[in-house]
């Protein structure tokens, strides 16, 4: 049986990268899928690929009102939201010494405030209907400390870890399960753009990087998506409040 048969799944930041992979996996597993993104041409193309009842909602998740209204649009279209994935993210660089207030605020807005208010709206729908639901927040292994050039990103994502656990505890008796996934270095279109923009990467950088990693590859979006679908589904059982490290580097391990 399909893991998400007839579930309504909203994937924020779902028009490309890991979010798009999650949308595809959810649709494959029988869900009615809605995705948000800022670029209509990208979002509409994905929805056309998914077919069926798939829905694209244009939204800038850095705006709390748009984060909430995206959930409202899904409820209007499908009558409810059963599962929420917060996959939108900003990874622009900044250190403790050179991060401006504007850059810091941008990271907080997309990486923490957006998920907060999307969860607020989605969980309110679940609780209001007195039905179970699930949320998965895509976080990062860098939230444990991270590189010096990721200071505002780490600050915001570490906050998302705390929010995930707090919300899971608050709504466990509502049977709303909320978990997070700390993903490591992942091969996405966005990562390619980041490597070229901030680190001077050239063609071939991905193969060179993969060769230096234990598993011989970066994290793969489709593999992450399968894990997220499991967490969204009833097959993950009673698990809630877990923030799972999904990476090939072992925390605390030293060479």
Residues with a catalytic annotation lie at 153
- Residue 223's φ and ψ, nearest 5 degrees, are -70, -40
Place of tokens 């409820």: 75
The closest alpha carbon to 111, from 147, 86, 135, belongs to 86
Write the CB contacts of 255 (distance below 8 Å, at least 6 apart in sequence): none
How far is Cα 86 from Cα 66, in angstroms, rounded to an integer? 14
Q: Which tokens is 218 given?
A: 């970066």
How far is Cα 36 from Cα 121, in angstroms, rounded to an integer? 15
Q: Quick one: which H or E segment has residue 12?
A: strand 8-12
- Residue 66's φ and ψ, nearest 5 degrees, are -70, -35
What is the chain's Cα-based Rg?
Answer: 17
């Amino acid at each position: 049986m399909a893991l998400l048969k007839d579930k309504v799944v909203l994937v924020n930041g779902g028009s490309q990268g890991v979010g798009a992979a999650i949308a595809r996996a959810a649709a494959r597993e029988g869900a009615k899928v809605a995705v948000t993104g800022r670029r209509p041409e990208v979002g509409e193309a994905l929805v056309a690929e998914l077919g069926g009842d798939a829905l694209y909602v244009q939204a800038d998740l850095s705006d709390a009102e748009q984060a909430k209204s995206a959930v409202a649009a899904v409820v209007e279209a499908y009558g409810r939201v059963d599962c929420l994935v917060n996959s939108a993210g900003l990874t622009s660089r900044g250190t403790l010494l050179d991060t401006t207030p504007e850059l810091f605020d941008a990271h907080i807005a997309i990486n923490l405030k957006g998920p907060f208010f999307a969860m607020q709206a989605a969980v309110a729908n679940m609780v209001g209907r007195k039905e179970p639901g699930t949320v998965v927040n895509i976080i990062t292994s860098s939230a444990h400390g991270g590189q010096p050039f990721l200071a505002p990103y780490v600050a915001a994502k570490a906050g998302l870890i705390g929010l995930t656990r707090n919300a899971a505890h608050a709504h466990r008796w509502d049977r709303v399960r909320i978990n997070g996934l700390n993903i490591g270095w992942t091969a996405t279109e966005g990562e390619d753009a980041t490597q070229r923009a901030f680190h001077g990467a050239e063609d071939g950088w991905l193969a060179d990087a993969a060769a230096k990693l234990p598993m011989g590859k970066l994290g793969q979006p489709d593999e992450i998506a399968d894990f997220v679908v499991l967490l969204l589904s009833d097959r993950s059982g009673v698990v809630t409040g877990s923030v799972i490290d999904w990476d090939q580097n072992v925390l605390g391990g030293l060479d």
